[in-house]
Structure 1
Amino acid sequence: MGFHRRPAQPGNDRSTRVTVLSAAAATAAAALAAAPAGAAPQDKPSDTRAMVDRLYEQAERATESYNKADEHADKLRAQVARAKDSVARGQERINRMRGALGALAGAQYREGGIDPSLALMLSSDPDRYLERASVLDRVSTRQAGELADLQRAQRTLAQQRAEAGRKLAELEKSRVTVARHKRSVEHKLAKARKLLNSLPDDERDAYDRSSRSGARDGLPELGGAPASSRAAAAIAAARSAIGKPYVWGANGPSGFDCSGLMQWSYAQAGVGLPRTSQAQRYAGRQVSLSEAQPGDLVAYRDDASHIGMYMGNGQVVHAPYPGAPVRYDPVGMMPVSSVTRI
């Protein structure tokens, strides 16, 4: 999971349906509303650290909602582009059909756009007229078919335009949802940083060193054989990210949130993972923690709002929280909810 918006892609205005997004927004808002506003003067440093942990946890959950909403906005953006392209192609087809019908109507008029019964009465050669009328009947039948095709194409085009309009409206709503999530997360992170800054220097340094059971210096040896060749490549990528900053909503390569790090690492192995930690926990086969092998994904808390990669020897690599770079930490730093083998 993570705290930073992933960088915008060239050409995009930037990471379920609107009802899903609305539910995600309501869930995030409920979680965010419960956080303390700040440390009271009588709070002990341990109390302040606990408040900071709660703020980070709430921000992680809100970030997962943000990533989900942002991912949905990306999908909607692609759907809107396809709908617009379909409308354009439909309009081109209608223009061609109208042109063909115009040519057909002109030819019919030049052939003699006169009432057939009157033409028969005036004709000096009834046999020739009947031959000509037969041609006109065939033209009329063809024209009727062309008109029917045109009407169907126009109805289809109207439906495509209506669908494009709905998608555009849905996209706009999703953008609002994404922005709301972003503000919520940034508000929580600002509160957490303010609380941390209220601690004495030694307490603040201790928190940064030891939060979530602490980090090890250096790059430990891999503890065991990777679960697969894909896992080995993902492990190498994750280890190469050690020391990179935690960036809210980012999925590499210069910064990461927790699920962004997992997605990027496995992408280097040619494996596409979903964007959120909640979805990543179901991206493979679930195994027990006792069976964990290097490369497995370890999700934390019941809602899987944080995720890391198991490296063996009871350690994971993960993007912890703002201010803490990608690093090793003990696998038991938080309650483990699942272990997934990709």
Structure 2
Amino acid sequence: MITIETLSDIAALADRLPAADQAARDAALARQNSLTKPPGALGRLEELAIFMAGWQGTDRPRIAQAQALVFAGNHGICAQGVNPFPQEVTAQMVANFQAGGAAINQLCQINGAELQVNALDLDNPTQDFTTGPAMTDAEALDAMTQGAAAVNVQADILVLGEMGIGNSTVAAALAAALFGGSAAEWVGPGTGSDPAGIARKIAAIETGLRRHSGLGAMATLAALGGREQAAICGTVLAARAARIPVILDGFICTAAAACLYAADPRMLAHCLVGHASTEPGHRRLLAALAQKPVLDFDMRLGEGSGAALALGIIRSALACHNGMATFGEAGVSEA
């Protein structure tokens, strides 16, 4: 377990968190090279199997339990007209998740993940970051603690997603603050903003960036982020402490975790990005994080949908890694 008393404590955690097991990675690579195929012939499936081996500490990694966590929050920045939908939709979609009617429900079911939805004080949106910090340090830490507590430490892999009207604006603000560039370079349509709506998003972010400049990574999370972004950071840290690999979803989820990367890049070593969102800022953010997504399916739904879909690819990678015969077992001559 990890204990975080202040946001400023987080950057120092990188020195205390477990690293991947290099011996297990090497053994998994040796197994890959002994299977009945040319070395490297399965491409990224081989890389994914070796990645999983390193974090599970075994040359034969498996997924017996997969957990999916979706965090939902509401945002004061919606007062600036940055979203075409009212904030009531956040709670309505949470109810849809709980009733089993959303895309994430179907993708978790077919790919073998147990879904848990966590609504974070939806009746109390964060503050409008154009007028002050979105959260106090205490509020950000509380959301991180809730996120960390939601992690099943017996899980073999964790799928992360989010829901929150207005949070594509929050993600763009975080990305711009952490990695530079203009607001316009990070902003996209989100749930369907028209050109006027996009202009309002850009203006709001520019105001927020001027107001909250020069902050550290985690202070930026509190100033510009939301409860679901803070909760995602808490889950990522708790998963790392338990050596659980994480699949991040699209732009919003990745931007949340990017706060940890900006504090210390080592903190996301156990994370994969499930897919490349069509939200324009996501590819720019992936480049900043040096992350290659598992899938590129032109998705932009959120909810953890791309991460849950990527889980199926990782299961396929491990099925080949563990189930294929070696040359010796199959009686096939090697070159």
* Shorter-chain TM-score above 0.5: no
TM-score if structure 1 supplies the norm length? 0.24
> Which protein has the larger Cα radius of gyration, Structure 1 or Structure 2?
1
TM-score if structure 2 supplies the norm length? 0.24
